[in-house]
């Protein structure tokens, strides 16, 4: 199972972050969780085929979480898709999609199955396939919103071929039956018992997608023992009041869910645009839970890296966490001088923000401010030794009204 974050912004996109969506790749097919504007472009850039989407799960009807849906469906229509597609979401999703295509006088070339969740939905399986199922539960947001858990069903145990042959098993169908848990009767009447030959079933991988919610026990239930928990962390703990008021989580809330659910890996996402540097949020989450990572757009997360690496090849340049390009990795240590120059780390955090124009304009006053803020940082760090913290909040333009999201 491979998870590819396609958009990690909350509410509004920024110059470097797109609206929420995450792809789950499994055995060649794709499930999408949320479908913000730009989802289909990000899929292309991630190296994911749009035609391979079989399931779309929407959490709620805040526009940023579904604004890419009609565009994606339209592309599938233009590709003359014939395979059915299943869309799960709050009640109304069917009406919304059908109205849009009726308005455009377009008849879809493929069937869409809808799984609509009523507002009094208390939780349960919303999709049940041969090899996996998906469970949803209501979250705690300003409007009806659900979280999801994707669960692979247990995989059959390994067959001990030597032992089977010693007992007289030779035919393929006999192996198949044994693997499926059925005992096999041989011609001479002896019965070969399945669990003698087949090992314990191996647990399937799991993934939980929890977004647009304050802390809620349902998130813990969905995330219980998952391989990967993708949890929103819109705000840092210093804005816990705002998180509560707007029905969102802080990075500590995400860590709390990860702890209570004993997930194997926490990945935080859905960052407020005010955090030009989301590492502030990661650092906070890691105080309470490890391993924790930032969702990075287009960077795949694996449940089985040994077998999954290289299956999905991003089509665009990805920035490494340390600021190096992914192509640089192989040539580490033998980089030419010119390359070194090109990817040289910038000196101050401020210049990393998209708002370089304002930076230049205000560079003088910045110097004063930055010395003040480093004083503040030193104060903040009293208990944490000499750890250096980047400036946590950097408004980008005067037009960003951070009181609203």
CB 242, min distance to Zn ion, A: 14
CB-nearer residue toward Zn ion: 132 or 144: 144
Nearest to 81 by CA among 108, 45, 113, 43: 108
CB-nearer residue toward Zn ion: 37 or 212: 212
CB 232, min distance to Zn ion, A: 7
Identified catalytic residue from 64, 212, 253, 355: 64
Which one of the spans 7-15, 148-156, 360-368, 391-399 is the region binding Zn ion (CB under 5 A)? 7-15
**With contact defined as beta carbons under 8 Å apart, do 240 and 248 qualify?**
no
With CB under 5 A as the rule, give the number of residues binding Zn ion: 2
Residue keyed to tokens 């029905």:
247
Which one of the spans 1-9, 115-123, 137-145, 211-219 is the region binding Zn ion (CB under 5 A)? 211-219
CB-nearer residue toward Zn ion: 212 or 297: 212
CB 204, min distance to Zn ion, A: 28
Is residue 37 a contact point for Zn ion (CB under 5 A)?
no
Exposed, middle or buried: residue 207 (CB in 10 Å: 0-12, 13-18, 19+)? buried
CB-nearer residue toward Zn ion: 10 or 249: 10
Which one of the spans 6-14, 36-44, 69-77, 192-200 is the region binding Zn ion (CB under 5 A)? 6-14
Please give the full DSSP string across 293-336, using - where no structure is assigned.
Answer: EE--TT--EESSHHHHTTSS--SS--B-TTS-BGGGGGGTT---
- Residues 6+ away with beta carbon under 8 Å from 2: 24, 25, 26, 300, 301, 302, 303, 308, 311, 312
Q: How many CA atoms lie within 13 A of 239 on its CB side?
A: 25
CB 20, min distance to Zn ion, A: 6
Nearest to 56 by CA among 134, 125, 137, 173: 134
Start-end of H helices in 171-327: 172-179, 194-197, 217-223, 240-246, 251-261, 279-288, 305-308
Copy the structure tokens of residue 205: 């991988």
CB 334, min distance to Zn ion, A: 44
Which one of the spans 139-147, 210-218, 278-286, 361-369 is the region binding Zn ion (CB under 5 A)? 210-218
List, as own/partner pairs, every contact residues 395-400 make where C-beta atoms lie below 8 angstroms and the sequence separation is at least 24, other chains included. 395/274, 396/14, 396/273, 396/276, 396/353, 396/354, 396/355, 396/358, 397/355, 397/358, 400/273, 400/274
CB 248, min distance to Zn ion, A: 8
Residue nearest to Zn ion (CB): 212
Which one of the spans 44-52, 101-109, 191-199, 212-220 is the region binding Zn ion (CB under 5 A)? 212-220
CB-nearer residue toward Zn ion: 10 or 303: 10
Largest alpha-carbon pair distance within the chain?
93
Determine whether 253 is an active site residue. Answer: no
Is residue 212 a contact point for Zn ion (CB under 5 A)?
yes
CB-nearer residue toward Zn ion: 18 or 81: 18
CB 36, min distance to Zn ion, A: 9
DSSP type of residue 286? H
CB-nearer residue toward Zn ion: 67 or 277: 67
Instruction: Report the relative pairing of strands 228-232 and 206-210 from DSSP bridges.
Output: parallel
Copy the structure tokens of residue 286: 């890691």
Q: Can you give the binding site for Zn ion, defined by CB under 5 A?
A: 10, 212
Active site positions, annotated: 64
């Amino acid at each position: 199972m491979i998870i590819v974050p396609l958009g990690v912004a909350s509410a509004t996109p920024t110059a470097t972050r797109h609206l929420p969506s995450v792809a789950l790749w499994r055995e060649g097919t794709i499930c999408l969780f949320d479908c913000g504007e730009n989802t289909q472009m990000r899929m292309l850039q991630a190296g994911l085929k749009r035609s391979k989407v079989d399931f779309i799960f929407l959490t709620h009807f805040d526009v940023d979480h579904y604004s890419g849906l009609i565009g994606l469906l339209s592309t599938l229509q233009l590709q003359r898709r014939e395979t059915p597609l299943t869309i799960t979401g709050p009640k109304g999703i069917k009406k919304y999609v059908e109205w849009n295509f009726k308005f455009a006088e377009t008849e879809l070339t493929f069937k869409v199955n809808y799984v609509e969740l009523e507002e009094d939905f208390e939780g349960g399986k919303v999709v049940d396939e041969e090899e996996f199922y998906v469970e949803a539960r209501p979250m705690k947001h300003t409007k009806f919103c659900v979280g999801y858990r994707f669960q692979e069903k247990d995989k059959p145990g390994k067959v001990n071929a030597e032992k089977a042959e010693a007992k007289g098993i030779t035919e393929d169908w006999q192996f198949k039956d044994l693997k499926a848990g059925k005992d096999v009767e041989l011609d001479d009447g002896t019965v070969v018992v399945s669990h003698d030959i087949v090992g314990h079933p191996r647990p399937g991988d799991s993934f939980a997608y929890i977004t647009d919610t304050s802390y809620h026990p349902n998130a813990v239930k969905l995330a219980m023992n998952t391989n990967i928990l993708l949890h929103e962390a819109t705000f840092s703990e210093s804005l816990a009041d705002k998180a509560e008021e707007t029905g969102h989580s802080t990075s500590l809330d995400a860590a709390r869910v990860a702890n209570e659910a004993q997930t194997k890996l926490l990945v935080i996402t859905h960052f407020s645009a005010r955090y030009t540097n989301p590492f502030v949020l990661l650092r906070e989450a890691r105080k309470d839970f490890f391993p924790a990572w930032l969702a990075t757009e287009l960077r795949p997360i694996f449940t089985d890296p040994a077998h999954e690496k290289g299956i999905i090849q991003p089509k665009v340049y990805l920035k490494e966490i340390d600021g190096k390009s992914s192509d640089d990795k192989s040539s580490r240590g033998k980089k030419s001088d010119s390359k070194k120059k090109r990817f040289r780390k910038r000196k101050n955090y401020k210049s990393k923000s998209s708002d370089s124009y304002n930076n230049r304009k205000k560079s003088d006053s910045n110097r004063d401010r930055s010395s003040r803020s480093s004083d503040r940082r030193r104060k903040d760090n009293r208990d944490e030794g000499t750890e250096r913290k980047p400036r946590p909040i950097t408004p980008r333009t005067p037009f960003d009204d951070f009181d609203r999201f």
